[in-house]
Amino acid sequence: MKTLDTLRTTMRRDQVWEIMVPKTGLELDISHGTILYLEDISVTFDGFRAINHLNLYIDAGELRCIIGPNGAGKTTMMDIITGKTRPDTGTAWFGQSIDLLRLSEPEIASLGIGRKFQKPTVFEHHSVMENLELAMAADKRVWPTLLARLTPEQHERIDGVLETIGLQEHRARRAGALSHGQKQWLEIGMLLMQDPHLLLVDEPVAGMTHQEMDRTAELLKSLAGRHTVVVVEHDMDFVRSIANKVTVLHQGSVLAEGTMDEVQNDPRVIEVYLGGGDGH
């Protein structure tokens, strides 16, 4: 595929790319230490309340795991944060001053909220390096130089991301030839090219080998601090391996919150979720 064709494909993907987006002029203010405030959010689909008076607060720089049985509202919650679904009631603030409910999906993406869906959607016919370049191209500041040579700074940025995702030695490989786990890391790398403040990651280890899961745990842990990372995941061993704080959703509300040990020993959690099999 030619680069321009690829760019057209890029634009059609369900991810929102910054190049398409008018600048909001809004600045993230995390001076109180909290990057996300969801308060009293409710959403009803055809009479069914998928999110029910949800309150959720995420600290800047934390790595938060969200667990909960099927249908608990995890995906809907992510959809509300990214602007894909509008709540019927409630408020959603990004930092102190940005009202997410007033912004479009592309505007929210441009403010630095990146989302990684479960299935990797890398450009299979392009190399690892080209995939990262294309992700950088989504940043309109580099648009004028896109088809020209990369600047030393851009090379450095790509090298930094390659190191973070552990694919330095695979930079010239076709993305389609990577393992499932490597494709997931590459896609995380593509999000990192845009240096998001908040990364929403949906079931990152589904279909991975144990070794790949271990590396994914290391990767996500390494991102916390510089980024805020929210991971929705069903695999409890994986959650245990990365989690500081776990939020359990059930019937659209927060049922419990705390360390993995705290939530796993919470009788309400045992009753509705962990006691009932693997959560699927």
Ligand X SMILES: Nc1ncnc2c1ncn2[C@@H]1O[C@H](COP(=O)(O)OP(=O)(O)OP(=O)(O)O)[C@@H](O)[C@H]1O
Shortest distance (Å) from residue 81 CB to ligand X: 12
SS3 content of the chain, % helix, strand, coil (to 5): 40, 25, 35
Shortest distance (Å) from residue 238 CB to ligand X: 15
Shortest distance (Å) from residue 246 CB to ligand X: 14
Q: Which stretches of the chain bind ligand X, using CB under 6 A?
A: 45-46, 48, 50, 68, 70-76
Contacts of 129 (CB under 8 A, 6+ apart): 158, 162, 171, 172
Length of the chain: 280
Nearer to ligand X, 40 or 156 (CB): 40
Nearer to ligand X, 123 or 273 (CB): 273
The three-class DSSP label of residue 199 is strand
Label residue 191 left, alpha or beta by phi (over 0 means left) and psi (-120 to 50 means alpha): alpha
Nearer to ligand X, 141 or 280 (CB): 280
Give the number of other CB atoms < 10 A from CB of residue 71: 14
Nearer to ligand X, 162 or 269 (CB): 269
Nearer to ligand X, 80 or 178 (CB): 80
Shortest distance (Å) from residue 50 CB to ligand X: 3
Shortest distance (Å) from residue 61 CB to ligand X: 25
How far is the C-alpha of 155 from the C-alpha of 195, rounded, in Å? 15
82 residue type, one letter: T
